[in-house]
Amino acid sequence: MIGIHSLTKTFKTATDTVRAVDGVDLQVKEKEFFVLLGLSGSGKTTLLRCVAGLEKPESGEISLGEQIVSSAERGIFIPPEDRAIGMVFQSYAVWPHMTVFQNVAFPLTDGKRRLPRSKVQERVVAALELVQLSAVADRPVPFLSGGQQQRVALARALAVEPRVLLMDEPLSNLDARLREEVREEIRGLAKKLGITVLYVTHDQVEAMALADRIAVMSEGKILQIGAPQVLYHFPLNQSVGEFLGSMNEFAGTVQNESCVKTDLGMVHCAVPNGAPTEVIVAIRPEDLCLSCDPSGSNNEFPARLISQLFLGDITVYYLSANEKKMRGKTTQVDRQLKTGSRVYVRFPAEKLKIFPR
Amino acid sequence: MKKNISNLDWSRLLLLGVAGISALAILGLLAMVVWMSLRTGVPGQPSSYTLKNYTALLNDPYTYRVMVTTLIFSAVTIAVSVPLGFVFAWLIERTDLPYKALAMSLLSIGILFPTFLKAMGWVFLLHPRIGVINIFLMQLFGLKNAPLNIATLPGIGFVEGLTLAPLAYVMISAALRGMNPAFVEAASIHGVSKWRTLLRVELPLVWPALVSAVIWMLTVAIAAFDVPGVIGMANNIFTFSTAIYFMINPNEGLPRYGLSGAYGTIMVGLSLILMFPYFRALKQSHRYQIISGKSYQSRPIELGRWWLFGWGLLGLYLVLAFILPLLAIFWVSLLPYVQVPSRQAFSVASFERYSAVVFDSALLQAAWNTLVLMVAVPTLIVSISTAISWVVTRSRMRGRMVLDAIAFLPHPVPHLLFALAIAYVALLVSDVVPLYGTLFVLLAVYVICWISFGTRVLNNSMVQVHRELEEAAQVGGVPTFRVLWKVILPLIRPGLVYAWIWTSLSAYRELTMAVFLASPNSQLLSTYIWGQWHGGGLGDAAAIAVIMIVIMSPLVTSFWIYARRQQHVASSVS
């Protein structure tokens, strides 16, 4: 549905030029919920704005469906008003001088895809119904709460029946609890209506909760594309792995295809083909196994339990093994584990990740 | 390449066109001032390029006299206006002075009060021959000569200073308001007394803003025409601006456009040079301002019984700047000839002049012309400024900051030079298009000069409209012009209305540009009074002045109520 080919967009600052988007290739499928994930400054918003037509790329091509909407090489640039898309902005951008109804109706009455009056009424009512705002249709938007304004923005984007819905950090201005609620709604609506969504966020939890597929971006480039589970469990490199969740990391040297020497000792794991000699062995905190007594299996190391943090649903353990700090995380409380006592840490071989150093 | 052309957006083109043409008009008129300084003879007459005007100017002792006069005049003006402005600003922004809102309103409205009327009032008060106070003092003490004389260089400087005090107040109070009260609070917490804090913390911090205010006052004083024109000219005191007027309207002989162009070029250069230190000081003062999200106000300094002193000072100012001159004008308008209030004088006082004056067809024509300008000028300014401000703040065109700078140019450059240049242009083309002396020329120059004001106000308004509000409409398929019309303009409506009314009232009170361009066919109320004044009809001039003020008062008041409600309090004057 959305095709992006070797897209580049640079910005000139006072001192130098920044490649905000640097040769990106991307395919978003029909009806897919696709999330661009990255830190601020990684180029994800710029990429989204290029798709919207709010930025003009220097090179590369963007297509929506069959139509090429932007191609620097062929001199094609369709302005945003002709792209038939919907967009939800970070600031919501609901027009403060209009009511809820007028906000949703405005693109339909004044836009390029104008509809007859009766049809407008029908569409707006339906869109407001979708986001459960029918009751406040005649209220001026400044009187709404942040969450409600967010829904107005969503209704407005949906009312034009866009072929693609673009969302730029739409939840970042909401408080944590509301964010979770609206997140579910957005995902549910997108799936119910069967629309293609391109969604930008810097929050990995949000990305995993929403996405069919995620593209992790950094410095204008895409590091990895894949389903949330794939990215979480099988990151291609250290950055992607760290971005999706915390990891315990150990520098090591590959001895053979099933053995890496680290500061802790010899770690047994499946070293991928083509891995360099100098590597990083990583494991997520929830994958660590802790016990008071040694079990005698592979990859087990003695450690000291420095402190434990009870967080309700989980407990976090801070460990030290051979001068190396580690974090463990578990949902089961083991009362035998005492702070300051000696414990045994085991790395299940299938949970270990090997990255080049 | 071809695709790009077909993608051109006509509404964008229109906005760019309007902005571009206005910018060219501003630059063109400035260039015209320089060009005319390099020519001799009457406009349109064949002439070669020459530096004769400059050599004449440099070899004439009169030039140096004018220069010194202008400098002294400016110095007195600043010495009067800046301390007054600072004290008022401090009282209103930093202390618990009661009825602050009233003080603020009176001072800000003061900016709109027609300056030339104030000057007339002071002539009626302190002229050595006809000044009411002088006559009174002479009678009282049996003096042979008038003890006070307003028609001197310090005198006109004093009147101009009184006039500009509200402007100084607005500029300085903006600086005080922008300053973080935490600096002052930190001083008081660490045991520094209020007065010491004022001298050692507050004053050094507002110093750059004060310097920029002084420089701005200097450019305004150099350009000032009303007071030197009304009081000084008849008494042979010439500043740059009145000297130029006198060259174009000499008592005998031909107008000397070439020489006035040379004077004008010097004035343009001077005002532009002054902008360098002005912006440097301004930048420095912005560095001292800490803009925090929360605007919290420091605890005001308690004046205690000193509030009486504060209001006493304000009251004295208001009496000197408005009430006395107004009363003097009103008094003179009632009498057949100027005399001191006495039983005999009251017995001959009457409204006879008014009935005679009101039915004068020339005055009615002047009133009509003024009204036309009061509607047409602000409407054009707001439209053009919208286009310019849109290009400057909303588009991402290269060179938009240059456009902004050009639109700002008429602010520091004396407006009379634009009038001079457009008069010259009108004369040049008078064989082809009979523009000279028409209302149209006045309209054009008012609009060109006040675009700077309009764009300041609208730039400010437009940057406050979040870019995503516009982009949301764009993505929703709404074309550029409709976005402007239905999203941006409604959101900046307070700014639009403010700019419209302010420029409309400015058109009502404007004298400087008008006297350069008004002909018998295009008289305005202000030029009509000017004509009466210099033609010896002092009483008639006074009567029309009173009518002018009576008409203006409700307009200004309603404007003020609107501006206060929109929180737009004269913030864009500087």
Pick the residue from chain B with its C-alpha nearest to A54: B471
- SS3 for B45-73 is CCCCCCCHHHHHHHHCHHHHHHHHHHHHH
Q: How far, rounded to the nearest angstrom, does the alpha carbon of residue B523 sit from its chain's CA centroid?
A: 20
B473 close to A (CB below 8 A):
yes
Looking at this predicted complex, what is its ipTM? 0.78
State the Cα–Cα distance between residues B385 and B524, nearest whole angstrom: 25
pLDDT at A272: 83
Q: How far, rounded to the nearest angstrom, does the alpha carbon of residue B384 sit from its chain's CA centroid?
A: 20
pLDDT for residue A195 is more than 80 = yes
**A150 in Cβ contact with A90 (< 8 Å):** no
A86 against B300, higher pLDDT: A86
DSSP A98-146: SBHHHHHHHHHHHSSS---HHHHHHHHHHHHHHTT-GGGTTSBGGGS-H
State the Cα–Cα distance between residues A283 and A327, nearest whole angstrom: 10
- Chosen for mutation from A81, A98, A172 (greatest number of chain B CBs closer than 10 Å) is A81
- Chosen for mutation from A9, A45, A102, A110 (greatest number of chain B CBs closer than 10 Å) is A110
> In the structure encoding, which two tokens stand for residue B366, read together?
């002047």
> In the structure encoding, which two tokens stand for residue B226, read together?
């009303």
A54 with B491: Cβ contact below 8 A: no
Q: Which CATH superfamily is domain B1-37+353-574 in?
A: MetI-like (1.10.3720.10)
pLDDT digits (tens, 9 = 90+) for A57-75: 999 999 999 999 999 999 9
CA angle A139, A144, A146 (to 5 degrees): 155
Of B2, B471, B487, the CB nearest to A89: B471
pLDDT at B300: 73
Q: What residue ranges do the domains of chain B occupy?
A: 1-37+353-574, 61-252+302-340
State the Cα–Cα distance between residues A7 and A68, nearest whole angstrom: 13
pLDDT for residue B572 is more than 90 = no
Percent of chain A clearing pLDDT 70 (strictly above): 100
pLDDT at B297: 56
The residue type of B369 is: N
pLDDT for residue B570 is more than 80 = no
- SS3 for B272-295 is HHHHHHHHHHHHHHHHHCCCCCCC
pLDDT digits (tens, 9 = 90+) for A87-146: 999 888 889 889 999 999 999 998 887 889 889 999 999 999 988 999 999 999 888 988
Mean pLDDT in residue range A153-176: 90
> In the structure encoding, which two tokens stand for residue A262, read together?
């680290």
Torsion of CA B542, B544, B550, B554, to 10 degrees: -130
pLDDT for residue B221 is more than 70 = yes
Enumerate the H helices of B464-571 as residue ranges: 467-475, 480-483, 489-491, 493-509, 512-517, 525-534, 538-565
Residue B298: band (very low, low, confident or very high) from pLDDT cuts 50, 70, 90: low
Report which of B130, B100, B490, B519 is spatially closest to residue B311, judged by C-alpha positions. Answer: B100
3 state SS of B107: helix
DSSP B158-186: HHHHHHHHHHHHHHHHHHHHHS-HHHHHH
pLDDT at B569: 42
pLDDT for residue B380 is more than 60 = yes
| CA torsion through residues B335, B337, B343, B344, sign | negative
> In the structure encoding, which two tokens stand for residue A1, read together?
């549905």
pLDDT for residue B574 is more than 50 = no
The tally of CA atoms less than 13 A away on the side-chain side of residue A66 is 0
State the Cα–Cα distance between residues B435 and B45, nearest whole angstrom: 18
A240 against A323, higher pLDDT: A240
pLDDT digits (tens, 9 = 90+) for A268-327: 888 888 888 899 999 999 998 888 888 888 888 889 999 988 888 899 999 998 888 899
Lowest-confidence region among A223-232, A277-286, A332-341, B560-569: B560-569
pLDDT at B567: 55
3 state SS of B333: helix
**A1 in Cβ contact with A29 (< 8 Å):** yes
Contacts of B3 in chain A (CB under 8 A): 74-77
Q: Which residues contact B420 (CB under 8 A, 6 or more apart)?
A: B33, B244, B248, B260, B261, B264, B516
pLDDT at B566: 66
B468 close to A (CB below 8 A):
yes
- How close A85 gets to chain B, by Cα (Å)? 7
B4 with A89: Cβ contact below 8 A: no
pLDDT at A92: 86
pLDDT at B235: 86
- Using N-to-C axis directions, what is the helix angle for B203-223 and B240-248, rounded to 10°? 10
B477 with A81: Cβ contact below 8 A: yes
Is the pTM higher than 0.90? Answer: no
Contacts of B479 in chain A (CB under 8 A): 81, 112
Of A82, A84, A93, the CB nearest to B472: A93
Report which of A49, A28, A27 is spatially closest to residue B475, judged by C-alpha positions. Answer: A49
Q: Which CATH superfamily is domain B61-252+302-340 in?
A: MetI-like (1.10.3720.10)
DSSP A320: E
The residue type of B378 is: P
pLDDT for residue B6 is more than 80 = no
| A289 strand-pairing partners | A346
The tally of CA atoms less than 13 A away on the side-chain side of residue B166 is 22
Of A80, A92, A97, the CB nearest to B475: A80
pLDDT for residue B178 is more than 80 = no
B482 close to A (CB below 8 A):
yes
| B546 strand-pairing partners | none
Report which of B148, B137, B542, B529 is spatially closest to residue B328, judged by C-alpha positions. Answer: B542
Element (H, E) at A300: strand A300-310
> Please, is B141 exposed, middle or buried when counting C-beta atoms within 10 Å of its C-beta (0-12, 13-18, 19+)?
exposed
Q: Hey, do B1-37+353-574 and B61-252+302-340 end up sharing a CATH topology, with the first three levels equal?
A: yes
pLDDT at B292: 44
B2 with A112: Cβ contact below 8 A: no
CA distances (Å), origin B295, targets B177, B206, B338: 10, 18, 54
Pick the residue from chain B with its C-alpha nearest to A88: B472
pLDDT at B294: 42
Mean pLDDT of chain B: 87
> In the structure encoding, which two tokens stand for residue B355, read together?
């009935």
Lowest-confidence region among A47-51, B287-291, B499-503: B287-291
**A92 in Cβ contact with A152 (< 8 Å):** yes
Dihedral-angle region of residue A87 (phi above 0 means left; psi in -120 to 50 means alpha; beta otherwise): beta
Q: How would you list the strands of the sheet with A248-256, edge to edge?
A: A266-268, A259-262, A248-256, A278-283, A353-356
**Cα separation of the two ends of chain A:** 37
pLDDT for residue B431 is more than 90 = no
pLDDT for residue B290 is more than 70 = no
pLDDT for residue B296 is more than 70 = no
pLDDT at B5: 41
| A5 strand-pairing partners | A61
- How close B3 gets to chain A, by Cα (Å)? 6
| CA torsion through residues A98, A99, A105, A107, sign | positive
Lowest-confidence region among A79-83, B6-10, B53-57, B159-163: B6-10
Element (H, E) at A329: strand A324-330
pLDDT for residue B382 is more than 70 = yes
B471 close to A (CB below 8 A):
yes
Torsion of CA B401, B282, B448, B562, to 10 degrees: 110
The tally of CA atoms less than 13 A away on the side-chain side of residue A312 is 0
DSSP B298: P
DSSP B453-494: HHHHHHHHHHHTS-HHHHHHHHHTT--HHHHIIIIIHHHTHH
- SS3 for B442-453 is HHHHHHHHHHHH
Residue carrying the six token digits 């140096």 = B64
State the Cα–Cα distance between residues B421 and B426, nearest whole angstrom: 9
B/e letters for B333-342, b = 16+ CB within 10 Å, e = fewer, are bbbeebbbee
Mean pLDDT in residue range B17-35: 95
State the Cα–Cα distance between residues A314 and A331, nearest whole angstrom: 5
A106 with B491: Cβ contact below 8 A: no
CA distances (Å), origin B493, targets B374, B458, B486, B487, B549: 19, 10, 11, 10, 28
Mean pLDDT in residue range B355-376: 91
Residue B571: band (very low, low, confident or very high) from pLDDT cuts 50, 70, 90: very low
| CA torsion through residues B365, B370, B371, B375, sign | positive
Counted across chains A and B, CB pairs separated by less than 8 A come out at 84
State the Cα–Cα distance between residues B454 and B50, nearest whole angstrom: 38
Mean pLDDT of chain A: 90
pLDDT at B287: 73
pLDDT at B139: 85
